[in-house]
Copies of this chain bind each other. A is one copy, B any other.
Amino acid sequence: MSSEYGKNLRVSIFGQSHSKGIGVVIDGIPAGERFDMEEVLRFMQRRAPGGKAFSTARKEGDEPEILSGLLPEQADPPSGPRWYHSCGAPICAVIWNKDQRSRDYESLRDVPRPSHADYPAYVKYGSFHDIRGGGHFSGRLTAPLCFAGALCRQLLEKRGIYVGAHIASVHGVWDQPFDPVQLTKEALLEPGTKAFPVREDGAGAAMLAEIAAAKAAGDSVGGIIECAAIGLPCGLGEPMFDGVENRIAQIVFGIPAVKGLEFGEGFGCASLFGSENNDPYCLEAGQVRTRTNRAGGILGGLTTGMPLLFRAAVKPTPSIAKEQDSVSLSKGKEERLVIQGRHDPCILPRAVPCMEAALSIALWDMLAEDMGKSRGPE
């Protein structure tokens, strides 16, 4: 495993789905940054199972326990501290695992679930792999990612940088995309305030119908998430291999089930003429901008100052109720497999905050590197 990300900010994620706890160490956040823990929990709540966003976050499970690096401010109500500040030391937060019904996962070791990590993990880690609940491959490990992302989000917001995302499509039903040129803070953040994070609620309803139909059929569906950031300075990124796309890609592909990533026009540009795909420069109130933004705010691995946009393809949940073909590794023969338990027929809604978290972490890390490199110490 290599569950660390970042250069100047180091995010190290640990835990398995059914280990005592999961969590994250975040090393490199400057001292003296103030964090609103209510806001952190509200953000994390967006990826929580069954997550009704903006409900009474504090009372529910999956609340991270802060072990180090963040100190509560003193004059706080008895309900628990809301404001914390960083002290410069590495931050560690743990989420305790409860309800670890480690049911018959052993059988999965023998008959791997199609399109899960079971089989390659068995080959790599042998019978020592902690297969319960998917182990370290579980989507549950995105909870500490979201904690780290929630902190970075607040760091960015204080600098006027905002990150948002929405479900762009589910099983072929499309939401309205973000406006790549005139993307306002309101438009960017609005989907995150909804229980089902889309821009057009009509599209959302149609998506929910797709999901319900899949569920009824014992099946699952995939989709696409669109994620964006505004307020970025021009010139961020360190090409060739630590450019903006490289760094975002390295973290986004760490979110389970992501199978594709495109920036701006992305795969669409493959069928365009250069004259169609190029973004002409213009001046707006004395500022250099582009009339279109097919580049997704990135040229040569550097931010252009226009909104940064990417889309990530999320595959359908591999755990489905339908019977599937697999093999018994011990018996060396093909077998039919029925996966027990309830499974999310579509993880897109919960993946939305994960994308925002990943982008927030990547952006903060690049901003920290940029300070020393592009401009140099004063």
Contacts and interface: CB of A to CB of B under 8 A. Distances in A.
A171 B90 contact: no
Contacts of A114: 278-281, 290
Contact of A300 (B10, B117, B224, B329): B117
A27 B8 contact: no
Pick from A214, A270, A325 the residue with the most CB of B within 10 Å: A270
Contacts of A246: 249-251, 253-254
Contact of A368 (B251, B291, B372): B372
Given A171-B273, A243-B254, 19 more contacts: A1-B89, A2-B28, A3-B240, A31-B124, A31-B126, A86-B128, A88-B136, A89-B136, A136-B239, A137-B300, A141-B240, A214-B273, A219-B274, A245-B258, A270-B315, A273-B316, A275-B322, A281-B325, A288-B329
A30 interface: yes
Interface stretch (A37-45, A47-55, A61-69, A193-201): A61-69
Contact of A1 (B27, B67, B214): B27
A288 to B, nearest CB: 6
Contact of A234 (B120, B267, B288): B120
Contacts of A299: 115-117, 119-120
15 contacts: A1-B238, A2-B373, A7-B7, A14-B90, A71-B130, A87-B136, A94-B94, A171-B270, A221-B274, A223-B270, A274-B316, A281-B327, A283-B333, A291-B325, A370-B372
Nearest to A311: B267
A371 interface: yes
A164 interface: no
Contacts of A123: 233-235, 305
A352 to B, nearest CB: 14
Contacts of A117: 239, 299-302
A107 to B, nearest CB: 14
A281 B291 CA distance: 49
Nearest to A315: B269
A317 interface: yes
Given A169-B270, A239-B136, A92 B23 contact: yes
